Chains A and B, each alone.
Chain A
Amino acid sequence: MQEILSALAEPNRLQIVELLRRRPLPVGEIVERLRLRQPQVSKHLRVLSDAGLVEVRPVGQQRIYRVRAQALKELDAWLDPYRRTWDERFDQLDDVLRDLKRKHKEKKDGHGK
């Protein structure tokens, strides 16, 4: 997990992953879209690949990079308890807000009479 997080900590690498998330791309297009130099992109792709975040497969003459779903699932699983904590908190906040809205309405209705 730490490897995945470290790989994503670099802004350009995060951008590459976001780009590849939309669709698989060859190196050349990544270079073009992010306006980075090719050696830089290749280096980033190597780090991402070592962390298991992207994989490459040859299609004709090109090498196409894409995001590995498994890595994303790991990342998601890592965050899940944290998300649940906030979710529980906010579900309770929902209840509080429902009460506040009701009281608010009663006050307004009462005032109108």
Chain B
Amino acid sequence: MAMASSTGTTKVTLPSDREILITREFDAPRDLVFKAMTDPKLISRWWGPRKYATVVDKMDVRPGGAWRFVHRAPDGSEFGFRGEYREVVPPERIVQTFEFEPMAGHISVETATFTERDGRTLLTVRSLFASKEDRDGMVQSGMETGLRETHDRFAELLAELREEARISAR
């Protein structure tokens, strides 16, 4: 399967009308990838976009535990993201809820799965939204406000569609 990507190897696809699936491969064993995603000291180094500082307000990585991260913009404005861990299975799986505070009430469920092969890790993050409108709204709000940092995930169709479009555009 030919895979083209203008932005690294992150693939975003839409497996159903309420989901987004994101996949990415990392050159590290999965216990390290799992650690990087569950260690509060490491989150601030990668979770937010470069233009913001990311502060870990709460991060209680166990079923029922709460998390809350805050993005701080250079102009001092802040916006938060929060949720709750539902399943934590090192180093295989994390299920957590996700809510962008300015859009409170629109809660999605993210499932991160870590698969190791030859010392490399395939990370898939699947986001399930309450409705198609929620999902589309999430993608849309990302485009319009630059707050697109944080949501959820997609699936296979798109990367391939993209390649297809490129080929037929030639």
Chain A positions within 8 Å of B, measured between CB atoms, are 2, 5, 8-11, 14, 18, 21, 67, 69-70, 72-73, 75-76, 78-98, 100-101, 104
Contacts and interface: CB of A to CB of B under 8 A. Distances in A.
B50 interface: yes
Contacts of A97: 26-28, 32-33, 36
B157 A18 contact: yes
Range of interface residues on chain B?
35 or more
Contacts of A96: 36, 42, 45-46
Interface in B132-162: 132, 136, 139, 142-143, 148-151, 153-154, 157-158, 160-162
A85 B49 contact: yes
B28 to A, nearest CB: 4
A21 B26 contact: no
B22 interface: yes
A80 B13 CA distance: 11
B58 interface: no
B47 A89 contact: yes
Interface string B108-133: 00000000000000010000000010
A18 B165 CA distance: 13
Contacts of A67: 164
A89 B150 CA distance: 9
A70 B166 CA distance: 10
A37 to B, nearest CB: 22
